[in-house]
Amino acid sequence: MKEQAKTFSSKQKRHYLVGKEMGTSETQEIWTNLNRDCVNSDEFLAVVAEEFDAIKRKTDVDYYSGYRQGLIEVLEVVTGHCRSKCSQIGKVSGEISASIFCEISKTIGRTASFTRLMRDAPNIICGNAYVMSCELTFIQEARNMCPSYATGHNFDSYYRASLGGACSYNPNKPDE
């Protein structure tokens, strides 16, 4: 009887390891098929979720647990990479936007307004990191470069993504 328990445990481990290997390789393949482009990170999450649901319904618990672990490990790498990359891009965008805002405000002698409203495209991984970094950097830079103009409605409207400002995240080209 002890022999059977040991064999079963070995079988469970094999199923787990095979599942983990498949979860890792299939998740990496999905990311590769999306060109490893952080703009596609939300689509990546959606496709991975669909694959995961399909696996969950048709496999044993050990394979499923391994698959899930492999998938999670790849997701952590991808989301970490994309959040970092998009945050860096947002920071640069915030710096540039604040510089432009201050130059315009100083030139016209009042707080500049942002007249071309952009549509902020919701994006869990890249968009949120970009917007948060851009907005924070914009505020800090503008308050350092032109503090007398860095207040009020026009200031808020100029950068806020939620208001269609300069820190809006929309990776789509204008003609799309």
- The per-residue pLDDT for 126 is 87
- The per-residue pLDDT for 12 is 80
C-alpha–C-alpha distance, residues 110 and 155, integer Å: 10
- The per-residue pLDDT for 176 is 41
- The per-residue pLDDT for 5 is 38
C-alpha–C-alpha distance, residues 65 and 21, integer Å: 11
Position 32, amino acid: T
Least confident stretch, 28-32, 61-65, 112-116, 137-141: 112-116
- The per-residue pLDDT for 146 is 97
User: Left (φ > 0), alpha (ψ -120 to 50) or beta: where does 109 sit?
Assistant: left
Q: What is the mean pLDDT of residues 122-134?
A: 87
Kindly report, residue by residue over 73-112, the tens digit of the pLDDT.
999 999 999 999 999 999 999 999 999 999 999 999 999 9
Smallest CA-to-CA distance from 150 within 92, 110, 95 is with 110
Kindly report, residue by residue over 149-171, the tens digit of the pLDDT.
999 999 998 999 888 889 988 77
pTM of the model: 0.77
Q: What is the mean pLDDT of residues 14-25?
A: 92
Kindly report, residue by residue over 36-76, the tens digit of the pLDDT.
999 888 899 999 999 888 887 777 888 888 999 999 999 99
